[in-house]
A and B are shown apart, each in its own frame.
Chain A
Amino acid sequence: MTLKSRHLLGLENLTRAEIEYFLDTAGSLKEISSRDIKKVPTLRGKTVINLFFEASTRTRTSFEIAAKRLSADTINISASTSSVTKGETLIDTAKNIEAMRPDLVVIRHPASGAPELLSRWVDLPIINAGDGTHEHPTQGLLDLFTVREKRGKIDGLTLAIIGDITHSRVARSDIYGFQKMGARVRVCGPPTLIPPGIESLGVQKFHRLEPALEGADVVMVLRIQLERQGTPPFPTLREYSKLFGINLERLRRLKPDTLIMHPGPINRGVEISPEAAYGSHSVILDQVENGVAVRMAVLYLLSGRSVDA
């Protein structure tokens, strides 16, 4: 098995076999995090740069732990402390870092397409930790891993993604990933937050929550924000919560083995109630745990050329 690209920029262009390769590798690496000594020497002496132009404690910490468990050295660069505040462009920042010879770059950036731009200018494997509203491939992979672990398979399952689809990089990565792995995908939210033409991706569109949840095996709840530029897409958080919030009453209608997922951080009581976030359906914390294994797999597989032994 060889990966076509030396980067992980998104799930859109991965094959099913490549996705399974990442998931299988994550499966082999997961037990390391349960050991007493949570470290293997595999990436010893390698340097991983976490280039985060957008604040994110959760994803960055996850990548840092993943790198360290593989014995790599990690350097965190965040936008506020970087030369970007002095007007340096992304390309110049990256070229300067490249000159210090790191081995892998993990980048999170508010502009869609920034990792792609970087991959054209810098001769290093680039891992997209979230670019604007485009993709968040490691989140997609850990969501897939979690569902496969809990339900044994993904083929034939129905995934319902609830929330602001238009502005969600997680939604896009999940749509591509879950479809490639054989799931049926639904999106649900107010029309103002669902991109026109989304059906062309093979996805079913819902504007009411109840029908979207009907028979769903996995419910992916997205964080909702009111503050955006331009006309607000819905009147109040209260109204959003009433129409689209995953609360106790809606929990009761779910099949017993339906999984509730959320990329985090959650807005308690808005898109998801505490009962749903911490109840028996929820695998939100498994997602976080699996995130480390998945990111270890990504770092491992992108650190060289893949061959079969």
Chain B
Amino acid sequence: MPRLIRGGRIVDPSSGRDGIFDLLIQDGKIARIEPRIASLPPDTETIEAAEHLVVPGLIDIHTHLREPGYEYKETILSGSRAAAAGGFTGVACMANTDPPNDNHSVTEFIRERAREAGLINVYPVGAVSKELKGESLAEIGAMVDSGIVAVSDDGHPVMNSGLMRTALEYTQIFGIPVISHCEDLGLSRGGQVNEGLASLRTGLAGIPAEAEVSMVARDLLLARLTGGKLHLAHISTARAVEAIRAAKAQGLQVTAETAPHYFTLTEEAVLSFNTGAKVNPPLRSAADREAVQNGLRDGTIDCIASDHAPHSTVEKDLEFSQASSGIVGLETTLSLTLNLVQQGIIPLARAIALLSVNPARVLNLKKGTLAIGADADITIINPNREFVVNPDKFFSLSRNTIFAGLQLKGKAVITLTRGKIIFRE
């Protein structure tokens, strides 16, 4: 049935369009965008979008949906619901499940589950190495046939530079990116918090910024050597941003992402030993946060990704050093990104690009756009909607977020995939 989204402010970074338009959806595709669509097909359902933003369905390039293996933390169904509530129509999910997604059967299982859920597009990310052990390459080709869009051992770094090089070369057959979790385990060993104010005051072992920067540097060198497609995950440090900026200035094809906690919080959040603030990489210094924000503004960082990492209270209500790392993010990422716009740190169009057309480009998806003929994956945002983050109302099965109780403004109110409403507040 046709659908009209009336009177919303269309912000479509892929085309540069930004203005008040009516948008007509037919057969699951974007049929017309005009200032005023008067003649409508019969049975057209109208969504009034005055005072709202109408943007391409958001894409989260980095999430952990925990299925198979950790269904008590999250399932593909609950993760899909959480994504839809957060305004996402597509998510890429990492391979560190149990069994890990290092072979095509697990890839197919994930896609099947996503089909059953029938809500969002789930793009599985396959493992770089068998069992994520970082020793030998997984059967990437078979997984590509089953539908992976990228490879990553995320959760773990690929410490073996020889293997990383091979991965960057091999994946060129398929044109898919290697998403790199940059962490030198020798430098981060035993660390719980940022090495700096956090480790000094809490006495917990610190992870120096160099644990990330040294691996970013290595990966950039290997990307240049191989010509492979490198995407750097969850960038948290100033010097990593500098290195990426310099590499891009020299023409290297590399992309990078960061997560909302790195542009919103600093290491001060762990001083009270609140495990809700325990993440890997850890929350960093104020200077690092500022550099990440600058990187989002000037294009050094291409994407914002939630790094949605659900954990149950069994894993989080423990001594800080025993607690698992991770924050759930699908239902707060958009609002935290809009918070940057409200603070004047990035313009609105850039914010939307970081969450739609850019991740789509990295993963080579024909998504993240409101072009005529594109799939009607659309997110309608109320930019003035004020709310308090309440984990008890989350669609996610997990509640582990340091942002509980935070007052935010701006929220997805309707999410559509192929013209079908998958979330309505």
Contacts and interface: CB of A to CB of B under 8 A. Distances in A.
B319 interface: yes
Interface of B: 189-190, 195-197, 199-204, 206, 272-273, 317-322
Contacts of A134: 202-204
B197 A113 contact: no
A117 B320 CA distance: 9
B273 A116 contact: yes
B197 A197 contact: yes
Nearest to A92: B317
Contacts of A90: 318-319
Contacts of A229: 189-190
Across chains A and B, which 3 residue pairs bring their CB atoms closest together, nearest first? A113-B273, A111-B319, A134-B203
Given A112-B202, A134-B204, A117 B196 contact: no
Q: How large is the interface on A (under 10, 10 to 19, 20 to 34, 35 or more residues)?
A: 20 to 34
A113 B200 contact: no
Residue with the greatest number of chain A CB neighbours at <10 A, chosen from B197, B319, B322: B319
Contacts of A264: none
Contact of A172 (B190, B203, B273): B203
Contacts of A133: 203-204
Contact of B320 (A113, A196, A201): A113
A116 B272 contact: yes
Contact of A132 (B201, B317, B318, B321): B321
Contacts of B206: 195
A193 to B, nearest CB: 13
A186 interface: no
A196 B195 contact: yes
A111 B317 CA distance: 13
22 contacts: A12-B201, A89-B317, A89-B318, A111-B319, A111-B320, A112-B319, A113-B320, A113-B321, A116-B272, A116-B273, A117-B317, A117-B320, A132-B203, A132-B204, A134-B203, A134-B204, A169-B203, A195-B199, A197-B197, A200-B200, A229-B189, A229-B190
A197 B196 contact: yes
A114 interface: yes
Given A111-B319, A112-B204, A117-B319, 13 more contacts: A90-B318, A111-B320, A112-B320, A113-B321, A117-B317, A131-B203, A132-B204, A134-B204, A195-B199, A195-B206, A197-B200, A200-B200, A230-B190
B3 to A, nearest CB: 48
Contact of B203 (A112, A121, A197): A112
A69 interface: no
B293 to A, nearest CB: 23
Given A90-B319, A229-B189, A230-B190, A113 B204 contact: yes
Interface string A1-29: 00000000000100000000000000000
A91 interface: yes
A113 B271 CA distance: 9
B267 to A, nearest CB: 11
A230 B272 CA distance: 27
Interface string A151-166: 0000000000000000
A114 B200 contact: no
B203 A135 contact: yes
Interface in A155-203: 167, 169, 172, 195-198, 200-201
A111 B322 contact: yes
A109 interface: yes
Contacts of B196: 196-197
Contacts of A109: 319
A179 to B, nearest CB: 14
Contact of A117 (B200, B204, B273): B273
A12, A112, A132, A169, most chain B CB atoms within 10 A: A112
A230 B273 CA distance: 24
Nearest to A117: B319
B58 to A, nearest CB: 35
B413 to A, nearest CB: 35
Given A132-B203, A229-B190, A200 B197 contact: yes
Contacts of B319: 90, 109, 111-114, 117
